[in-house]
Amino acid sequence: MSATPNSHSTSFVRTLGRVVATTLLSSVLFSVAHGQENAYPGKTINLVVPFPAGGSTDAAARLVSTHMAKILGQAITVENIGGASGAIAAQKVVRSNADGYSLLAGTINDVVLAPIVNKGTSYKYQDLASIGLIGTTPFVLVANPKVPAANIDELLAYVRSKPGTVNVGIPGVGTLQHIGTALLAARAKIEWTTVPYKGAAPLNVDLLGGQIDLAVVTLPSAIQYINEGRFKSMGLMSSQRDQSYPKISTINEGHEIKNVSTDAWIGIFAPAKTAPAVVQRLNAALTETMQKAEVREGLAKLGYRAAEGSSTAQFSQFVASEDARYKGVARSVNLDR
């Protein structure tokens, strides 16, 4: 039975109706999403810090977030989630809604190194949107006063005289300090025993007590003990001296070691699918924050070299380059998973 003109007309009207309805729905959804982006932020933002409260990472995140909150016109709460060298915190943010209300004060340990070194890590750095860099900070190789060495060259000679018996403490497996000590040992062709701790606090206690010979710690956490003579600095594991502590030499200034640099860094990240407009809004607030003298001075006191501000693209490129670099380093010292 052939279709009548009326049936053709009815079918056309129904099809047209579905098209119009779909178009209107898409338009409404786009308008709502676009409106939400324009209104961002409309509620409190949660910034996850991947280490316990009280450390330099936590202090830097709180300093920066306080000023960002004023610029954005919304409160930013700080949530400390420690464990697995920062990977637990990073994973929480990766799995959060990509709406700009769950951010990560990410470091090289949790953003880059954990996916490279730790088999249990289920994310990669590409699962996070890079918002901007806050700053970098050097590590320092320190010895307890009983170690018969005054500089890096004397230390290497001492370690060679006692292969495998000198121990060096690090604040966790898979951390930048872990990779740094392995890299230094490989470059210097020495053997020492790496002792992982659950954080920097117990590591410092044991070094002060003489239970371990050496440790790799952040410069700000060690400078008081260095000045008091309770730690001996063997040198910064950096390519340059720190402007805040110019008397502390680098290990690269010795006769044996060259081009060993493992600076740590901290930046702001969001889940990867966060809307570009929201990412740019956060980047603008961070960039404005980083220009404030109060912030830069505060970061310097915490041992950070404050970033000058960067675009999201520049920070993304930086993170990608760090990932490529440390994949090679971890592979060379057999620490890649």
User: Domains along the chain?
Assistant: 40-136+265-332 (3.40.190.150), 139-253 (3.40.190.10)
User: In this structure, what token pair is assigned to residue 78?
Assistant: 């700080």
Place of tokens 């088999």: 119
Phi, psi of 138 (to 5 degrees): -90, 155
pLDDT tens for the chain, 337 residues long, are: 444 555 555 554 455 455 444 554 444 444 444 445 569 999 999 999 998 888 889 999 999 999 999 999 999 999 999 888 899 999 999 999 999 999 999 999 999 999 999 888 999 999 999 999 999 999 999 999 999 999 999 999 999 999 999 999 998 888 899 999 999 999 999 999 999 987 777 899 999 999 999 999 988 788 889 999 999 999 999 989 988 889 999 999 999 998 888 999 999 999 999 999 999 999 999 999 999 999 999 999 888 999 998 899 999 999 999 999 999 989 988 887 6
| Alpha helices for the chain (secondary structure H) | 5-39, 56-72, 87-94, 108, 114-117, 152-161, 176-188, 200-209, 219-228, 276-290, 293-301, 312-332
CB 28 within 8 A of CB 72: no
Residue 243: the pLDDT is 84
DSSP 8-state assignment for residue 250: B
pTM of the model: 0.81
pLDDT at position 18, please?
A: 57
The confidence score (pLDDT) of residue 55 equals 82
**CA contacts within 13 A on the Cβ side of 290:** 22
Alpha helices in 112-167 (DSSP H): 114-117, 152-161
**What SS3 class is residue 219?**
helix
Residue entry with tokens 């600076």 = 263
Supply the pLDDT for residue 22: 52
